[in-house]
Chains A and B, each alone.
Chain A
Amino acid sequence: MSDLTSTDAAELGRLLSAGEVTAVEVTRAYLDRIAAEDDALGAYLHVDGESALRTAEQVDAARAGGTATGPLAGIPLALKDVVVTEGVPTTSGSKILEGWRPPYDATLAARLKNAGTVLLGKTNMDEFAMGSSTENSAYRVTRNPWDHDRIPGGSSGGSSAAVAGGLAPWAIGTDTGGSIRQPAAVTGLVGHKPTYGSVSRYGLIAFSSSLDQAGPMTRTVLDAALLHEAVAGHDPLDSTSIASPVPVLAEAARRGAEGDLAGLRVGVVTELGGDGHTDGYDEGVLARFTETVALLESLGAEVRQVSCPAFDLALPAYYLIAPSEASSNLARFDGVRYGLRVGDDGARDLDEVMALTREQGFGPEVKRRIILGTYALSSGYYDAYYGQAQKVRTLINRDFTSAWDDVDVLVSPTSPTVAWEVGARVDDPIAMYAADLCTLPASLAGVPAISVPCGLSEGLPVGFQIMAPALADDRCYKVAAALEAAQDAARGSRFLDQLAARPAGSVA
């Protein structure tokens, strides 16, 4: 069963239900690969093999005993370390939470536990999800499985590396400005940011509360839909949770895979890589994007250009709103109730201890964003910065709203470039932020957006982004599945099979 670690999660579920493999066998296969390869890859911050095997044994026993088990029971899973897990170390990639074992589960962690999934471990991330390369992790560098000299994207780069690298069948990431979609794009995965409010934020360590959403990072569109369905739905513990039924997504993916997009109206966003807006985009990324738009047309879609002028200001608006909310959210790390405390010698008072704790516990990007957010919210600058950014956010919403009059979905590249080399952008925050150029509009408007692989450039994966109106996540899955099926058919194999077919850590 050496190929268990390249099998997609839906197929693993089928094998498990049919009794063709046991949860212990599947879990052990993944743990073996983690033990052999994660020193080099750096995807995980915490792996508890004994606990995973114990859970797997329980699932196997329940299944053997005829106890009802759900379709996900026994499938291993990785969670980004921003997800609070009872008794399992949770750091959000920060030294300020080193060694913390939370006393409760995030709602999505509890739902996945109840579904019988097997938690393999917690994945690396940019500290407090601030970054686009996972290099802002306080703990380790994570490598891109396609080329170990390159970044896996971020901030959910541990999750992307784990799933693309065969160290987890699927994973949960979180997306504030693109942190699911961009790492998925640069590692050849499917990554979906759900409609804001459709997946509970209870127990996600908050970065920017009006933007944060958790979602699936998977090898196939169907897997993403299944994992999304498993975590979605109203949660009274999250006051921004939308009280609507769990959306029907796997069925949308299956329908999409049939390949008929007749009547679908697709808008190509001019401001995201279109005419006059190609600065900073790789030629190869734009070429794959153009080919994929043509593929949509060949599947029956009607394609037109759509201009969304306010999208040009998404990046400055985001880098005011997110740091402002972060500066407020991260005030909770005060050295009192959990995590690190520095300098508490009886002589220093609370303020001094707090300042020393935060100085030692936070990394440079977190400090930069807290200072920037403090500035943007400060008296005298509020209107010009934070207030103005919130109005730009309204303009971005209006661009989306008027686009939906004419089209069903909007498309763009997911990120302007392929994965860059480790270290290339660490000293240049502006260059790092540019990786989020295409993902930010959907974040600010709270609409769903998916990234699906659309080919290689320079031997590295390129992502195609599909955005839809709020609560129309099913459209993202349908269109992504149609593209995936058409590309798989043309290639004769799945996208990630190209990675397995070449020597580890090399670019073809």
Chain B
Amino acid sequence: MSTPSRKDRLTRDEVAHLAHLARLAVTDEELDLFAGQLGAVLDAVAQVGRADVADVPPTTHAVPMTNVFREDVARPSLPRDAVLAGAPAAEDGRIRVPRILGEEA
């Protein structure tokens, strides 16, 4: 695999698109700042492309992972009031969420 070519650094539009995907309402000033900084970071991290990794498997975890089973036993949940006390908005013993459907729904 060759080093990804990032001669054309991340554009402002690309950063705006990524921010949208990540649900970040970034400002114009941030777009200017991040486009430059992320371009420099991307140049640095693109060095992973230098490694000869033909036939090298990926490592996802530092220790071998196996599925972990446990007994299917009911245990007490966290107290409802304690959880709701930490929620930004609660109503009728539930977490109140922002509008999830459009006007026409």
Please list the residues of chain A having a beta carbon within 8 angstroms of any beta carbon in chain B. 100-104, 195-197, 210-211, 236, 239-240, 242, 310, 313, 315-317, 319-320, 327, 331, 334-341, 344, 346-356, 358-359, 362, 364, 367-368, 370-372, 374-376, 378, 381, 383-385, 387-395, 397, 429-430, 433, 444-447, 470
Contact = CB atoms under 8 A, between A and B. Distances in A.
A368 B26 contact: no
B25 A355 contact: yes
A132 B20 CA distance: 27
B56 A313 contact: no
B82 to A, nearest CB: 4
B32 interface: no
Interface in B1-56: 1, 4, 10, 14-15, 18-27, 30, 33-34, 37-38, 40-42, 44-51, 53, 56
A434 to B, nearest CB: 10
Given A344-B98, A384-B1, A384-B49, A103 B82 contact: yes
A196 B63 contact: yes
B34 A341 contact: no
Contacts of A430: 40-41, 44
A338 B86 contact: yes
A381 B21 CA distance: 15
B88 A336 contact: yes
A341 B88 CA distance: 6
A340 to B, nearest CB: 7
Given A374-B18, A390-B59, A384 B4 contact: yes
7 contacts: A313-B51, A368-B38, A384-B1, A384-B46, A388-B48, A446-B62, A447-B62
Nearest to A86: B82
Contacts of A196: 61-63
Interface in B71-96: 78-79, 82-83, 85-89, 95
A371 B63 contact: no
- For chain B, give the interface size range: 35 or more
B73 to A, nearest CB: 11
Contacts of A197: 62-63
A372 B99 contact: no
B26 A367 contact: yes
Contacts of B56: 391, 394-395
A394 B48 contact: no
A336 B59 contact: no
A210 B65 CA distance: 11
Scoring B42, B83, B89 by chain A CB atoms within 10 A of each residue's CB, the highest score goes to B42
Interface of B: 1, 4, 10, 14-15, 18-27, 30, 33-34, 37-38, 40-42, 44-51, 53, 56-63, 65, 68, 70, 78-79, 82-83, 85-89, 95, 97-102
Given A103-B78, A371-B24, A384-B1, A470 B63 contact: yes
A81 to B, nearest CB: 16
Q: Quick one: which of B20, B27, B63 has the most chain A CB within 10 A?
A: B63
B7 to A, nearest CB: 14
A344 to B, nearest CB: 5
B60 to A, nearest CB: 6
Contacts of B23: 331, 334, 351, 354-355, 358
A285 to B, nearest CB: 22
Most A-side CB within 10 Å, residue of B21, B48, B57, B79? B48
Contacts of A429: 37, 40-41
A334 B95 CA distance: 13
Given A103-B86, A240-B63, A358-B24, A368 B98 contact: no
Given A103-B86, A388-B51, A336 B4 contact: no
A240 B66 CA distance: 9
B24 A370 contact: yes
A100 B26 contact: no
Given A317-B48, A372-B42, A388-B1, A349 B58 contact: no
Contacts of B19: 367, 371
A362 B24 contact: yes
A210 B60 contact: yes
B25 to A, nearest CB: 4
Contacts of B18: 371, 374-375, 378
Nearest to A101: B86
A392 B95 contact: no
B48 A385 contact: yes
A395 B51 contact: yes
Contacts of A397: 59, 62
A336 B95 contact: yes
